[in-house]
Chains A and B, each alone.
Chain A
Amino acid sequence: MKARYRFLVAVMVLGLLMTGPFMVTLLLVWLDMDQAEHDLLVHLLSSHLPVGVAMTVFGFVIGVLILNKLFRQYVDGLLSMSEKLRLMLGANRNFRVTPEGPPEVQHLARAANDLAQQRDVLLDDVSEQIAAAKASVEEEKNRLAALMSELAQAVVVCNLDGRILLYNNRARLQFKALAQGPTSVSGGALIGLGRSIFSILEKNQVQHAEGVVRQRLAAGKTALSNFITALRGGQLLRVQMVPVLSGSERSDRMSGYVLTIENITRNVEEEARRDQVLHTLTEGSRASLGSIRAAVTNLIDYPEMEPEMRERFLGVVGDEVAGMSQRLDRTMVEFSDSIKMRWPLEDILGIDLIAATQRRIEEKLRLPTKTEGLDDALWVKADSFSLVFALLFLASRLQDHYGPRELRLRLSAQGRLAYLDLIWAGPAMSSETFYTWEMESMQVGAEASPLTLRDVIDRHGGEIWYQREKAAHRAYFRFVLPVATPEVEAEQEDNKRGAGRPEYYDFDLFNYEDKSIDLDRRLSELTYTVFDTETTGLQPSDGDEIIQIGAARIVNNRLLRQEVFDQLVDPERPLKPESIPIHGITEDMVRGKPNIDLVLPAFHEFCADTVLIAHNAAFDMRFLQLKEKRTGVRFAQPVLDTLLLSAVVHPNQESHKLDDILGRLGIEIDTRHNALEDALATAEVFLRMVPLLEKMDIVTVRQALEASEKTYFARVKY
């Protein structure tokens, strides 16, 4: 029974209780009395009835009021408290009942609050433990990722489908260096989380290696496999594969593989050159020697031969000997690098070497140093330790003999040779002095080396000489060193984008199978390319053109700030002056950049197998579609529009401009109106929207597309 009815019943009972006994008594007395007594009673009562009724009504009203109050406090009060307790149970964990009403109810409220408090402590404890466990797993992952990223070898981890779960910086740079073509990412060397390794390495070879690893695993041998593969551009990679075994007790189950990749093109080329030298020096000499030997033997064996014949044999000897000498000279010139005795030399940036030398000289000899004419892009092949010591040794000899006030260092390149000069101002020195310095074991203070200066020079396959600059009244020692072609050098440029650690790994991809676009997959599971374009204007059909494309990838619900596409495009038409302040791109910036015919195929490759996302996608898609015929690439994948999705989740908001959505969702962005920055902002927006959409039961891509279509904004056409 509802509280209200119970209250009415109680009021009626109260009324009956107050009037009932009097009425019943009156009735009984009435029945016992005769007519005269009845008249008397009526007379008596009627004179006092108003007072009695008034008193009864008054008492009844008081009773009802008391009843009402009790009801409020004990029935309604408890009812509302129970609602609040439910709130505490579900929606708002931190809600507490305010103790009010009669003391008993207040006691109850306090007891309930205490229970809630106890529950909260327990819950917090559990979540803390979960968080701690998660953090330690995360830390382990990070440590692994950090280790990987420091490795000088290129490492790529894949699942059995060949999807990339982890790669290190070295791998990224190596493949970037292999990329060919006009844009930063073209040429089939696309490395990225969730991308297929088969776009880089030959699928059959990788699968063959996988088979070998499995066989060796089954046979209980060391499970690894090597292969060498040639890329499109003729580069040679040596790849080693080891299995990733699943963590369960059946540890021989392979769940993926680790590839270490080394670019051996240069080694192979060098070896080939050395082979060639050997060949020219051996086989090349055989024929000549054969002719000489036969001629000489004939001359010796037949001393009485006629003079004309003798002349011819002598001619053969002279001719062949001259030919051999020439060949030897040519070989020395062509292959001098390859035939030198090779001390392992490292590639070092010349200015790093100079800086190290300056530090040593200033520390050890207290002699000021300066530099002049530094070629700061020059790499040399050097054994830097012995070379720096040789420079220090010379500096200390100079200090002892000529006491120069300062020394200068200079670095320049001359073809394949690097000149490192140690310069001082002072009188001429004799060549004998320098000769003794060159041949004695090097010593500086207490530091000694078993090597002589000459040893160090020979070790580098270099030379050293003394030379005067008469006009400047100074002299220098010139070290000649081989120039190195630097290997790919880690660039810092990418790190300024996206604060924090690079996202080079995602182990959740281990269980990530076929990921061709399935519209009924969850929004959070798909791979997306979020992109934005800057254009010369807003009228694609009136000849406005794309001048910049920026894009980033979302894999496994994470924005990968390192895997981006960022390309200026030459529109091959003048920019509109009024649009320049909007995108900040000037004529100078786009001239000479690749045109859309080159950029669009590269972008298409970047987007392969992903769902596209853009803010106000209809606009950008229109630009892409107008180029379909010309470039031959079609963007046929599904497209999600964050503008429409915003209208889905916040139908009552007036504005769905990107800036307003960013504000609404509390996303902070540094700069905007650069295609890449806008794409990144759009990606953040999308990631925030996924859970909001899920609350509306929009879980799959198909549902998101359908919901988008129904919004008002979807009807706007470009």
Chain B
Amino acid sequence: MTQRILIVDDEPNIVISLEFLMKKEGFAVAVANDGDEALAQVASFNPDLLLLDVMMPKKSGFEVCEALRADPERAGLKIVMLTAKGRDTEMAKGLAIGADAYVTKPFSTKELVDKVREMLAV
């Protein structure tokens, strides 16, 4: 069955690429533009993996991640944090609050795709 990926980012320019890539890889893709929308989409779209930007209006990626990790029903949901914050302290925080991977922009699309495939065991 097709696995589902939710892309959460407020910058349309990166969303275009991510959406294109993930569709090419054969995933079902949905997009959310801020934290609140992300939580709503998780409930309705029921994704297997989240590509989650940290810096967003309304709710930050950290908050979204924490909220999802607090929900035991979503324990199987994979979360990949995408961020323009390159400091290792932030990376540590992301992983500590339950992200499965932390990718710093700019990133290699190939590596990102490999990582997603690996995490979804495709």
* Interface residues, chain A, with chain B CB atoms under 8 Å away: 282-284, 286-295, 297-298, 301-302, 305, 309, 312-313, 316, 319-320
Contacts and interface: CB of A to CB of B under 8 A. Distances in A.
Interface string B91-106: 0000000000000111
Closest 4 A-B residue pairs measured CB to CB? Answer: A290-B105, A294-B17, A286-B84, A291-B13
B13 A316 contact: yes
A266 B84 CA distance: 30
B20 A309 contact: yes
Nearest to A292: B106
Contacts of A312: 16
Given A302-B24, A313-B16, A316-B17, A283 B84 contact: yes
A294 B107 CA distance: 7
B104 A295 contact: no
- Pick the most buried of A289, A297, A305, A319: most chain B CB atoms within 10 A of its CB: A297
Given A282-B86, A293-B109, A301-B109, A320 B13 contact: yes
21 contacts: A282-B86, A283-B84, A283-B86, A286-B86, A291-B11, A293-B106, A293-B107, A294-B17, A294-B109, A295-B13, A297-B110, A298-B17, A298-B20, A301-B109, A309-B20, A312-B16, A313-B16, A316-B13, A316-B16, A319-B13, A320-B13
A319 B105 CA distance: 17
Contacts of B105: 286-287, 289-291
A688 to B, nearest CB: 69
Contacts of B52: none
Interface string B1-36: 000000000010110111011001000000000000
A527 B98 CA distance: 66
B16 A297 contact: no
- Pick the most buried of B18, B106, B110: most chain A CB atoms within 10 A of its CB: B106
B108 interface: yes
Contacts, number: 68
B74 interface: no
Contact of A283 (B17, B82, B85): B85
Interface residues of B, number: 22
Interface in B58-104: 82-86, 104
Interface of B: 11, 13-14, 16-18, 20-21, 24, 55, 82-86, 104-110
A519 to B, nearest CB: 61
B21 A298 contact: yes
Contact of A287 (B14, B16, B17, B20): B14
A305 B17 CA distance: 13
A572 to B, nearest CB: 53
A309 B85 CA distance: 29
Contact of B14 (A282, A291, A301, A305): A291
Contacts of B16: 295, 312-313, 316
Given A290-B84, A313-B20, 10 more contacts: A283-B84, A284-B84, A286-B83, A286-B86, A294-B18, A294-B106, A295-B16, A297-B108, A298-B109, A312-B16
Contacts of A286: 83-86, 104-106
B24 A290 contact: no
A701 B47 CA distance: 86
B107 A290 contact: yes
Nearest to B24: A302
A305 B16 CA distance: 14
B101 to A, nearest CB: 15
